[in-house]
Chains A and B, each alone.
Chain A
């Protein structure tokens, strides 16, 4: 009795104290005035010294965006966003781009250190087997502060840099591919992103190259009232392979902050991209005050034959998540995968899922989604599997499981299936289960604490998806899931 009462009290008091990344870094920032006009777009483009075509592209997006309205179909609720009350660019004050880490503000390096992201190559090299090395692009508010192992990767012909640098060094590549997967007009937030994107990563893997190390980008929102509009573009040429991971955190603040990213992936014949996300933006407090609005468009285009794109996501943060990493299975025999763990607690709202668009023959896709809802949160899986007339023998397998912890949360599954060919085989399985008081009591009678019992059941629930993450991140993700659910038992 007392212990369970105690955990119930913990749920009532559930607080952001569990969020371990809520600190604020004090650095001198350069920001234009709040608000969004053509001048803002021009400012960002000029600040990045972009080619003229890029500015035109942005302005075109901006003009379209002004004619659009925010989508309202997702199962999420929030007060109207005042787009004029946001800073669209915030960069640490520096004299030009840092040429080495010594030119980066030590406070920023310190911030990444606190987050457990080593940026000094020497530190990473010490004690790490070469095959376990991870190259990092560190994006702090609107700019990439450093990208590690660039030189080493270049030896293999791999380009890994910030998208701003790519626009300087490889403008032809960016121009060829940007907006070809997520068109400028795609949706409200993608169009907004196209107008004002600030930084993100660019990856190019040449033909036949297996990227020699794991690539990752670490996004940090630090500045108050600032939106982060990241843009990532990954191109895997014929027969190449890359595994890429992104991580995200933000300080604990009372105001909501907007993160509207666009990620585009392109695989040519026989190429493979494995894209993993561990999203841990600040989720807001117990009453839903503060937290990140994570409105993200992620899409991969399996452009070549027998190519493969797999999305793995562990979503534990954000006040609101609106995100559907998708695959366009254009090349014959291509394959799309989506593995997701979405955890919601407190007042968090998650509306996430995927789209598998089968266009080519013999294309296959697999969707494994595990939603865990606790506290007073709402967790929706929304998915679309479609087969085009020409997508003969398309196959999909979908498995959507929801786990509820407590009585005040909600889990919803909204699967859409469209098939224009009679040869497609789509399978769908869905379950909803609940960790009940009785199960917890049973486990506790055997000696487990309520928290350990919950963690045990949750781990059992998510293990199929955790296995998809690169080893070194799986452990991290598992910890993160238990931290996110701390105090959720009752």
Chain B
């Protein structure tokens, strides 16, 4: 589903290199986890996959279903089925969450040449997903993420992920800031969509999340590279020993 080959990335307008020949494959139906020390480039990787303008790709490719997406605009990538749950979701003042959700869903449908959702259909979908995630209705009337608590923002990301039905979801530290109940709800949200057609790339610092979302693969990232790949047991080993064995590997 997602294949990254020899990716080199630097900050646009600066010489600072962040990703340094990174290789990564996430197959259809796979749940892959990335763990790694602060500043190793995990968020940068997710941003570059999604097309954030602050970064410059100096070499390498990012393929989604075999298509290089690096030349595509962020909204085109989204319509192609890519979703990023942000580590720090943005506040959008003045725009009711409902309005935003509808605009986003219809924009993607339009890009894919599908008909717009009718209002009743839209409301039905939102209510169902919000109920599952324990998001109260009045929150949907508030401007998106404005004044939401850290955990509420994260839930809102998962609500959007659920509604937009992406093929490839990247979750950047979605578990940070979530209480135990919310963590379980989020994990259920992912597990419910776990099937041969969907893939997930879960960035996290904590084994705890991986207790609920059992990863097929765990990658260790350090200094802009994937330095080790293993199964679920690798996360447990990291939990015990930290990153010291990998710090100098890159």
Q: List 10 A-B contacts (CB under 8 A).
A: A1-B56, A4-B73, A437-B53, A439-B91, A444-B74, A445-B77, A446-B100, A446-B104, A447-B108, A456-B92
Task: For B72, list chain A residues within 8 Å (CB).
Answer: 2
Task: Name the one of A447, A449, A457 contacting B164, with C-beta atoms under 8 angstroms.
Answer: A447
Whole-angstrom distance from the CB of A370 to the nearest CB of chain B? 10
Closest to B105 in A: A447
Known: A442-B89, A446-B160, A449-B107. A460 touches B53 (CB 8 A): no
CB-contacts of A1-60 with B (<8 A): 1-5
Q: Is the CB of A441 within 8 A of B74?
A: yes
> Is the CB of B192 closer than 8 A to any CB of chain A?
no
Q: Is the CB of A447 within 8 A of B111?
A: yes
A4 to B72, CA, bound (A): 11
> Is the CB of A209 closer than 8 A to any CB of chain B?
no
> Is the CB of A463 closer than 8 A to any CB of chain B?
yes
Q: Is the CB of A460 within 8 A of B143?
A: yes
> Is the CB of A104 closer than 8 A to any CB of chain B?
no
Task: For A439, list chain B residues within 8 Å (CB).
Answer: 90-92
Interface range, A side: 20 to 34
Q: Is the CB of A3 within 8 A of B73?
A: yes
Closest to A5 in B: B53
Q: Is the CB of A457 within 8 A of B74?
A: no
A264 to B72, CA, bound (A): 55
Residue numbers of A with Cβ under 8 A of B are: 1-5, 433, 436-439, 441-450, 452, 456-457, 459-461, 463
Q: Is the CB of A448 within 8 A of B103?
A: yes
A445 to B46, CA, bound (A): 11
> Is the CB of B93 closer than 8 A to any CB of chain A?
yes
Q: Is the CB of A461 within 8 A of B51?
A: no
> Is the CB of B121 closer than 8 A to any CB of chain A?
no
Whole-angstrom distance from the CB of B117 to the nearest CB of chain A? 13
Q: Is the CB of A456 within 8 A of B100?
A: yes
Task: For A438, list chain B residues within 8 Å (CB).
Answer: 90
Closest to B90 in A: A442
Whole-angstrom distance from the CB of A467 to the nearest CB of chain B? 13
Task: For B53, list chain A residues within 8 Å (CB).
Answer: 1, 4-5, 437, 441
Known: A1-B53, A447-B108, A447-B111. A460 touches B78 (CB 8 A): no
Whole-angstrom distance from the CB of B81 to the nearest CB of chain A? 10
> Is the CB of B75 closer than 8 A to any CB of chain A?
yes
Closest to A431 in B: B93
Whole-angstrom distance from the CB of A293 to the nearest CB of chain B? 32
> Is the CB of B71 closer than 8 A to any CB of chain A?
yes
A4 to B76, CA, bound (A): 12
Give the most central of A1, A433, A436, A450: most B CB within 10 Å: A1
Closest to B101 in A: A446
Q: Is the CB of A460 within 8 A of B107?
A: no
Task: For A4, list chain B residues within 8 Å (CB).
Answer: 53, 73
Known: A3-B73, A456-B95, A460-B95. A448 touches B89 (CB 8 A): no
Total count of chain B residues near the partner, CB < 8 A: 39
Whole-angstrom distance from the CB of B14 to the nearest CB of chain A? 15
Whole-angstrom distance from the CB of B232 to the nearest CB of chain A? 29
Known: A5-B53, A437-B53. A444 touches B78 (CB 8 A): yes
Task: Name the one of B74, B94, B143 contacting A445, with C-beta atoms under 8 angstroms.
Answer: B74
Task: For A457, list chain B residues within 8 Å (CB).
Answer: 92-95
Whole-angstrom distance from the CB of B102 to the nearest CB of chain A? 10
> Is the CB of B135 closer than 8 A to any CB of chain A?
no
Q: Is the CB of A460 within 8 A of B104?
A: no
A79 to B78, CA, bound (A): 49
Q: Is the CB of B92 within 8 A of A445?
A: no
Whole-angstrom distance from the CB of A465 to the nearest CB of chain B? 12
Closest to A444 in B: B74
Task: For B99, list chain A residues within 8 Å (CB).
Answer: 456, 460
A443 to B107, CA, bound (A): 11
Whole-angstrom distance from the CB of B159 to the nearest CB of chain A? 11
Q: Is the CB of A463 within 8 A of B71?
A: no
Task: For B74, list chain A residues within 8 Å (CB).
Answer: 3, 441, 444-445
A460 to B50, CA, bound (A): 26
Whole-angstrom distance from the CB of A430 to the nearest CB of chain B? 14
Q: Is the CB of B107 within 8 A of A445?
A: no
Known: A457-B92, A460-B95, A460-B99. A1 touches B107 (CB 8 A): no
A82 to B93, CA, bound (A): 45
Task: For B160, list chain A residues within 8 Å (CB).
Answer: 446
Q: Is the CB of A447 within 8 A of B78?
A: yes
Chain B 138-172 interface 0/1 with A at a Cβ cutoff of 8 Å (1 = within): 00000100000000000000001000100000000
A444 to B108, CA, bound (A): 10
A450 to B74, CA, bound (A): 9
Q: Is the CB of A444 within 8 A of B94?
A: no
Closest to B72 in A: A2
Whole-angstrom distance from the CB of A263 to the nearest CB of chain B? 31
Q: Is the CB of B92 within 8 A of A2?
A: no
Task: For B54, list chain A residues within 8 Å (CB).
Answer: 437
Q: Is the CB of B94 within 8 A of A460?
A: yes
Q: Is the CB of B93 within 8 A of A444?
A: no
A442 to B145, CA, bound (A): 12
A5 to B92, CA, bound (A): 22
Task: For A2, list chain B residues within 8 Å (CB).
Answer: 71-73
Task: For A1, list chain B residues within 8 Å (CB).
Answer: 51, 53, 55-57
Q: Is the CB of B100 within 8 A of A445?
A: no
Q: Is the CB of B52 within 8 A of A441?
A: yes
Whole-angstrom distance from the CB of B111 to the nearest CB of chain A? 7
Task: Name the one of B57, B75, B93, B105 contacting A460, with C-beta atoms under 8 angstroms.
Answer: B93
Q: Is the CB of B78 within 8 A of A445?
A: yes
Q: Is the CB of B164 within 8 A of A444?
A: no
Whole-angstrom distance from the CB of A352 to the nearest CB of chain B? 21
> Is the CB of B18 closer than 8 A to any CB of chain A?
no
A226 to B71, CA, bound (A): 50
CB-contacts of B64-80 with A (<8 A): 71-79
Give the most central of B53, B71, B76, B103: most A CB within 10 Å: B53
Give the most central of A437, A438, A442, A459: most B CB within 10 Å: A442
Task: For A447, list chain B residues within 8 Å (CB).
Answer: 75, 78-79, 104-105, 107-108, 111, 164
Give the most central of A5, A436, A448: most B CB within 10 Å: A448
